[in-house]
């Protein structure tokens, strides 16, 4: 096991070096002498969406509709970080203009707004398009138009398909890796307990369960219940979970359904240990939803008290003033977008914008669209993430690991070291031996 | 009359086609995509408006038929690489069969029961596609296809323009055929069944057959729309055919003017163009994203309410009333029969003494 692990790391390292070499060769042999060498070359309109003074990027985001609560904070947070970079010299002097359009989490609308961004507004790249069903509606189009499709805001393993979708890259922890990391923790810490799964009946939930099943022996699992996100009546599923005698419920649910799971369990006097994927566990979003739903039903609850002790995973640092990234993002938050709460979604928006700025610097002074893709394929530093990225020319997954945390007094407290793994059924979940990076003093990654 | 209406309809269709070709060359690629989107929407809405407006049957699950057409098209293009026109014909045929099956059940149901049954179809089909046979249907990810422009147009011909042309051509063919059907015995039977099925049966009309026929025609249109959607968006997924899509089709038919084919066009224009237009206006006035993003749904709602209050017969009904008002102002009341020469040609009223309202307006109130 250990040896195959080392072999895999070596293979990854060799692949990365090879990819770097290829990228270096291609950029040195290209006719434009601008990209890496000269720092005084004039800025040109080197690609669609790029002018000597600006870089226009676009995105589709759920600003209204079922997915809006919480997720509508992400794009404003990214904008705040881009504004900060623009005020601190921009990217080689160019300012980033971030135009995001509302798709209301409806794939038909996504198809329309993304074409508007690409065909009419001529954006350089699509950045952080949010949602699995929504982005699936445009991934083929973006790749046929050769538009860089950087850092999809979804953990679907479907973005890691460099042969079919060479332009598309994931960013957040994919649901399979996440499921394996959660699954290993559950298998080790709840030995002999009865485990049940509660998951969204789509790519998101099923990928997660796939990861869980790699680590949790089938003999421990007593029930599997799924829900569809258009039906808020999950009382039958919760009753079935209760009847199974489950002591631990692992949930692959979006925040609204994590809250419904908790409230329905409460109603039945069913109190299992909840283990929830990072997708559905942001404490600030959850406690707000719990209080709002209870109020609709004529009850008053304390949201933070209800989620106390919930186990989850994170691939971003904890929201605490002891973390240098949190302090950097807090400073930018207060300066540029203090109206929004600084919760997990806001942190996410800032962090993904930081990764994009890193990639843009690596793409060179006068980048083409292909330069950006090559820069990401050559690998990116992990920046605010707790584990390294998987990026290579053969792997378009994002971050490769995270840690297990428990919610205490409304914040996620780290319980385990950072664990990394791969998306295969047999790949082991191992502690990450590297360390987290510190943010640059200026708050802007250097070229 | 019928001898003269067919050439005139063809004439109008050719003029519309010429306008679309001109626009698609003048405007940018995104506008081409919107033209194609409108054509897809018109094709489906025209079918639905015939079903609901003429034969009096409601469908809350028309996107399910679009899914049948869309998946048939994608599978044929992916695995057999047939020419697209052959694929469109097969997709239409497959959806017609689906329409006949559903129609046979629907002919026994009325009002809320039919609404419920079609609603179930609209919910179940996309969900079933997402879950069943992932190897064939691609699960949640759906299927991606390629659609190339023909060689004679040259390598630099924008693909979105070609897609807009194909979609518009199909939409116009569908409209011309539906307009003819509307004025034929089949169309008259549908109206008779809609207005009073007992009376229609006494007149010797086979009510069940008429209803099934309406479902087949309507489903075929929806299937073609789904096929066009697959070609225009380069693939299909279960998310393209949700209940929201079904409801939007019905909304377009009602806003445009239920039972009228030009109304299908007005309704589709509103559904496709209004959100983009309002978003552009909202963002260009520098509104914050939280305010700006809520304006399009608000405007959409306001437009729905206003249209229903001001033009209970939909936009087409409103236009007609406006036109007859203008004509009586300029030509005097006895010249009203001239109106119908300039009005959209699909609803020519033969009798000159039909003074105040068009035939369909009267039918709509019944």
Structure confidence at residue A9 (pLDDT) = 54
Number of neighbours of residue A90 by Cβ within 10 angstroms: 18
Closest partner CB to A102 (pick from B145, B272, B293):
B293
Contact A173, A278 (CB under 8 A): yes
Q: How far B133 CA lies from chain A's nearest CA (Å)?
A: 14
Within this chain, do residues A85 and A8 fall inside the same structural domain, yes or no?
A: yes
Total structural domains within chain A: 2
Least confident segment among A78-87, A219-228, B344-353:
B344-353
Chain A CA closest to residue B231: A141
Structure confidence at residue A30 (pLDDT) = 39
Within this chain, do residues A199 and A169 fall inside the same structural domain, yes or no?
A: no
Within this chain, do residues A157 and A181 fall inside the same structural domain, yes or no?
A: no
| Partner A contacted by B33 (CB < 8 A) | yes
Mean pLDDT on B164-172: 93
Residue A52 sits at φ, ψ, to 5 deg, of -60, -20
Residue A260 pLDDT > 80, yes or no? yes
Contact A55, A97 (CB under 8 A): yes
Within this chain, do residues A159 and A203 fall inside the same structural domain, yes or no?
A: no
User: pLDDT tens digit string along A401-411?
Assistant: 999 999 998 88
Within this chain, do residues A280 and A136 fall inside the same structural domain, yes or no?
A: no
Structure confidence at residue B63 (pLDDT) = 93
Q: What's the maximum distance between 2 C-alpha atoms anywhere in chain A?
A: 70
Closest partner CB to A63 (pick from B30, B130, B289):
B289
- B237 contact residues in A (CB cutoff 8 A): 107, 133, 136-137
Q: Is residue A445 part of a domain?
A: no
Confidence of residue A197 (pLDDT cuts 50, 70, 90): very high
Helix H, strand E, coil C: the string for chain B is CHHHHHHHHHHHHHHHHHHHHHHHHHCCHHHHHHHHHHHHHHHHHHHHHHHHHHCCCCCCCHHHHHHHHHHHHHHHHHHHCCCHHHHHHHHHHHHHHHHHHHHHHHCCCCHHHHHHHHHHHHHHHHHHHHHCCHHHHCHHHCEECCCCCCHHHCCCCCHHHHHHHHHHHHHHHHHHHHHHHHHCHHHHHHHHHHHCHHHHHHCCCCHHHHHHHHHHHHHHHHHHHHHHHHHHHCEECHHHHCHHHHHHHHHHHHHHCCCCHHHHHHHHHHHHHHHHHHHHHHHHCCCCHHHHCCHHHHHHHHHHHHHHHHCCCHHHHHHHHHHHHHHHHHHCHHHHHHHHHHCCHHHCCCCCCCCCCCHHHHHHHC
Interface test with B, best of A114, A136, A336 (most B CBs within 10 A): A136
Which of A314, A346, A362 is a domain's end point? A314
Q: Is residue A323 part of a domain?
A: yes
Percent of chain B with pLDDT over 90: 31
| Partner A contacted by B160 (CB < 8 A) | yes
Kindly determine whether residue A137 and residue B233, on different chains, have CB atoms separated by under 8 Å. yes
Confidence of residue B345 (pLDDT cuts 50, 70, 90): very low
Closest partner CB to B28 (pick from A111, A119, A137):
A119
Distance CA A131, CA A114 (A): 13
Kindly determine whether residue A120 and residue B28, on different chains, have CB atoms separated by under 8 Å. yes
Q: How far A253 CA lies from chain B's nearest CA (Å)?
A: 17
Mean pLDDT on A245-258: 92
Chain B CA closest to residue A107: B239
What pTM value is reported for the model?
0.79
Chain B CA closest to residue A115: B30
Number of neighbours of residue A245 by Cβ within 10 angstroms: 12
- B293 contact residues in A (CB cutoff 8 A): 63-64, 72, 102
Mean pLDDT on A266-274: 93
Residue carrying structure tokens 């990861």? A211
Radius of gyration of chain B (CA): 21
Kindly determine whether residue B142 and residue A76, on different chains, have CB atoms separated by under 8 Å. no
| Closest-CA residue to B231 (of B42, B71, B65) | B71
User: pLDDT tens digit string along A354-391?
Assistant: 999 999 999 999 999 999 999 999 999 999 999 999 99
| Partner A contacted by B237 (CB < 8 A) | yes
User: pLDDT tens digit string along B320-330?
Assistant: 888 888 888 88
Residue A197's DSSP bridge partners are: A224, A250
Distance CA B69, CA B87 (A): 10
Which of A314, A335, A354 is a domain's end point? A314
Distances (CA, A) of B128 to A103, A344, B8, B44, B326: 24, 34, 44, 22, 52
Chain A CA closest to residue B291: A63
User: pLDDT tens digit string along A291-344?
Assistant: 988 888 888 888 888 999 999 999 998 888 888 999 999 999 999 877 777 888
- A134 contact residues in B (CB cutoff 8 A): 239
Closest partner CB to A115 (pick from B30, B243, B244):
B30
Q: How far A141 CA lies from chain B's nearest CA (Å)?
A: 7
Look up residue A337 and give its two tokens. Answer: 């977008």
Distance CA B79, CA B165 (A): 25
Residue A188 pLDDT > 80, yes or no? yes
Distances (CA, A) of A337 to A58, A286, A334, A341, A355: 19, 22, 6, 9, 19
Q: How far B254 CA lies from chain A's nearest CA (Å)?
A: 21
Distance CA B53, CA B258 (A): 5
Show Cβ contacts of residue A208 under 8 Å, excluding neighbours closer than 6 positions. A175, A176, A178, A179, A199, A252, A277
Distance CA B366, CA B362 (A): 7
ipTM over 0.85: no
Distance CA A325, CA B116 (A): 53
Chain A CA closest to residue B134: A203
Confidence of residue B4 (pLDDT cuts 50, 70, 90): low
Residue A26 pLDDT > 70, yes or no? no
Within this chain, do residues A45 and A158 fall inside the same structural domain, yes or no?
A: yes
Q: How far B156 CA lies from chain A's nearest CA (Å)?
A: 13
Structure confidence at residue A85 (pLDDT) = 95
Closest partner CB to A203 (pick from B37, B139, B145):
B139
Which of A314, A345, A377 is a domain's end point? A314
Chain B CA closest to residue A121: B30
Q: Is residue A425 part of a domain?
A: no
Within this chain, do residues A145 and A249 fall inside the same structural domain, yes or no?
A: no
Structure confidence at residue A81 (pLDDT) = 94
Look up residue A116 and give its two tokens. Answer: 């508007």
Residue A384 sits at φ, ψ, to 5 deg, of -75, -10
Kindly determine whether residue B234 and residue A108, on different chains, have CB atoms separated by under 8 Å. no
Kindly determine whether residue A133 and residue B279, on different chains, have CB atoms separated by under 8 Å. no
How many cross-chain Cβ pairs, A to B, lie less than 8 Å apart?
A: 90
Structure confidence at residue A6 (pLDDT) = 52
CATH number of the domain at A374, please: 3.40.50.2300
- B37 contact residues in A (CB cutoff 8 A): 112
Chain A residues with CB-CB distance to B under 8 A? Answer: 63-64, 72, 75-76, 100-102, 104, 106-109, 111-112, 115-116, 118-120, 132-134, 136-137, 139-141, 144, 158, 164, 201-203, 228, 230
Show Cβ contacts of residue B137 under 8 Å, excluding neighbours closer than 6 positions. B71, B129, B130, B143
- B141 contact residues in A (CB cutoff 8 A): 136, 158, 203
| Partner A contacted by B31 (CB < 8 A) | yes
Contact A316, A403 (CB under 8 A): no
Burial per residue of A119-151, b for 16 or more beta-carbon CB atoms within 10 angstroms, e otherwise: bbbbbbbbbbbbbbbbbbbbbbbbbebebbbbb
Within this chain, do residues A217 and A276 fall inside the same structural domain, yes or no?
A: yes
**Hey, where are the domains in chain B?**
2-243
Q: Is B231 exposed, middle or buried (0-12, 13-18, 19+ CB in 10 A)?
A: buried
Confidence of residue B107 (pLDDT cuts 50, 70, 90): confident
Kindly determine whether residue B237 and residue A102, on different chains, have CB atoms separated by under 8 Å. no
Kindly determine whether residue A140 and residue B297, on different chains, have CB atoms separated by under 8 Å. no
Kindly determine whether residue A137 and residue B240, on different chains, have CB atoms separated by under 8 Å. yes
Q: What's the maximum distance between 2 C-alpha atoms anywhere in chain B?
A: 67
Q: Is residue A109 part of a domain?
A: yes
- How far is C-alpha A283 from the chain's CA centre? 17
Structure confidence at residue A38 (pLDDT) = 54
| Partner A contacted by B131 (CB < 8 A) | yes
Closest partner CB to B237 (pick from A76, A107, A116):
A107
Within this chain, do residues A33 and A89 fall inside the same structural domain, yes or no?
A: yes
Q: Is residue A379 part of a domain?
A: yes
Closest partner CB to B234 (pick from A144, A158, A228):
A144
Structure confidence at residue B342 (pLDDT) = 43
Q: Is residue A407 part of a domain?
A: no
Residue carrying structure tokens 């209970």? B312
Within this chain, do residues A123 and A254 fall inside the same structural domain, yes or no?
A: no
Q: Which domain holds residue A323?
A: 2-173+319-400
Residue B361 pLDDT > 50, yes or no? no
Q: Is A378 exposed, middle or buried (0-12, 13-18, 19+ CB in 10 A)?
A: buried
Contact A97, A366 (CB under 8 A): no
Kindly determine whether residue B131 and residue A203, on different chains, have CB atoms separated by under 8 Å. no
User: pLDDT tens digit string along B80-94?
Assistant: 888 889 999 999 999
Within this chain, do residues A294 and A358 fall inside the same structural domain, yes or no?
A: no
Structure confidence at residue A5 (pLDDT) = 53
Q: Report DSSP state, residue A103.
A: -
Within this chain, do residues A341 and A308 fall inside the same structural domain, yes or no?
A: no
Residue B289 pLDDT > 80, yes or no? no
């Amino acid at each position: 096991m250990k040896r195959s692990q080392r072999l895999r790391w070596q293979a990854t390292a060799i692949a990365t070096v090879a990819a770097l070499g290829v990228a270096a060769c291609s950029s040195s042999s290209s006719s434009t002498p601008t990209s890496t060498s000269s720092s005084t070359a004039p800025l040109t309109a080197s690609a669609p969406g790029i002018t000597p003074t600006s870089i226009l990027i676009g995105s589709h985001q759920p600003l209204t509709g079922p997915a809006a609560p919480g997720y509508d904070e992400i794009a404003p947070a990214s904008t705040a970080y881009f504004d900060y970079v623009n005020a601190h010299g921009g990217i080689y002097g160019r300012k980033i203009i971030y135009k995001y359009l509302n798709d209301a989490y409806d794939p038909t609308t996504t198809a329309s707004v993304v074409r508007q961004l690409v065909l009419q507004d001529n954006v350089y790249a699509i950045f952080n398009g949010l949602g699995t069903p929504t982005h699936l509606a445009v991934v083929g189009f973006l790749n046929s138009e050769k538009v860089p499709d950087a850092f999809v805001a979804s953990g679907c393993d479907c973005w890691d398909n460099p042969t079919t979708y060479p332009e598309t890259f994931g960013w957040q922890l994919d649901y399979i890796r996440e499921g394996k990391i959660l699954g290993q923790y559950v298998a080790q810490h709840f030995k002999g307990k009865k485990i049940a799964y509660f998951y969204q009946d789509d790519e998101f939930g099923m990928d997660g369960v796939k990861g869980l099943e790699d680590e949790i022996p089938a003999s421990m699992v007593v029930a599997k219940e799924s829900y569809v996100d258009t039906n808020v009546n999950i009382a039958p599923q919760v009753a079935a979970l209760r009847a199974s005698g489950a002591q631990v419920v692992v949930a692959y649910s979006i925040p609204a359904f994590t809250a419904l799971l908790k409230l329905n369990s409460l109603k039945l006097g069913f109190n299992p240990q909840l283990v929830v994927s990072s997708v559905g566990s942001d404490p600030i979003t959850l406690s707000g939803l719990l209080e709002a739903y209870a109020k609709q039903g004529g009850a008053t609850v304390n949201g933070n008290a209800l989620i106390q002790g919930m186990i989850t995973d994170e691939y971003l640092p904890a929201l605490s003033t002891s973390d240098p990234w949190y302090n950097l993002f807090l400073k930018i938050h207060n300066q540029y977008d203090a109206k929004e709460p600084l919760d997990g979604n806001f942190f996410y928006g800032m962090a993904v914008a930081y990764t994009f700025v890193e990639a843009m610097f690596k793409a060179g002074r006068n980048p083409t669209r292909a330069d950006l893709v090559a820069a990401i394929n050559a690998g990116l530093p992990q920046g605010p993430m707790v584990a390294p990225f998987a990026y290579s020319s053969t792997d378009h997954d994002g971050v490769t690991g995270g840690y297990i945390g428990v919610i205490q007094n409304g914040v996620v407290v780290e319980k385990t070291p950072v664990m990394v793994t791969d998306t295969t059924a047999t790949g082991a979940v191992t502690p990450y031996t590297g360390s987290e990076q510190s943010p640059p003093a200026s708050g802007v990654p250097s070229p | 009359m019928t001898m003269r209406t067919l050439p005139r309809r063809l004439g109008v269709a050719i003029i519309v086609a010429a306008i679309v070709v001109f626009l698609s060359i003048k405007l940018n690629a995104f506008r081409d995509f919107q033209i194609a989107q409108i054509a897809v929407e018109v094709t489906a809405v025209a079918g639905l408006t015939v079903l609901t407006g003429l034969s009096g049957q409601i469908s809350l699950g028309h996107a399910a038929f679009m899914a049948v057409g869309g998946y048939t098209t994608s599978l044929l293009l992916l695995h057999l690489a047939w020419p697209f026109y052959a694929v469109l014909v097969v997709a239409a045929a497959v959806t017609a069969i689906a329409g006949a099956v559903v129609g046979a059940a629907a002919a026994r149901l009325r009002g809320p029961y039919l609404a419920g049954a079609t609603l179930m179809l609209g919910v179940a089909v996309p969900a079933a596609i997402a879950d069943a046979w992932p190897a064939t249907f691609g699960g949640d990810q759906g299927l991606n296809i390629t659609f190339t422009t023909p060689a004679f147009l040259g390598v630099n011909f924008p693909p979105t323009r070609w897609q807009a042309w194909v979609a518009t051509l199909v939409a116009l063919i569908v409209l011309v055929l539906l307009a003819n059907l509307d004025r034929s015995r089949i169309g008259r039977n549908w109206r008779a069944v809609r207005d009073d099925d007992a009376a229609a049966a006494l007149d010797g009309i086979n009510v069940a057959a008429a209803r099934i026929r309406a479902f087949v025609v309507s489903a075929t249109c929806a299937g073609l729309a789904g096929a066009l959607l697959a070609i225009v968006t380069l693939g299909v997924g279960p998310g393209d055919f949700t209940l929201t899509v079904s409801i939007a089709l019905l909304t377009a038919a009602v806003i445009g003017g239920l039972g009228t084919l030009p109304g299908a066009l007005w309704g589709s224009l509103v559904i496709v163009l209004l959100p983009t237009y309002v978003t552009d206006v909202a963002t260009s006035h520098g509104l914050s994203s939280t305010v700006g993003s809520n304006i399009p749904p608000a405007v959409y709602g306001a437009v729905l309410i206003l249209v229903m209050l001001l033009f209970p017969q939909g936009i087409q009904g409103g236009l007609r009333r406006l036109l007859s008002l203008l004509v009586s102002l300029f030509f005097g009341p006895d010249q009203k029969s001239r109106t119908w020469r300039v009005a959209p040609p699909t609803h020519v009223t033969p009798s000159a003494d039909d003074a105040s309202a068009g035939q369909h307006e009267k039918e709509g109130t019944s």
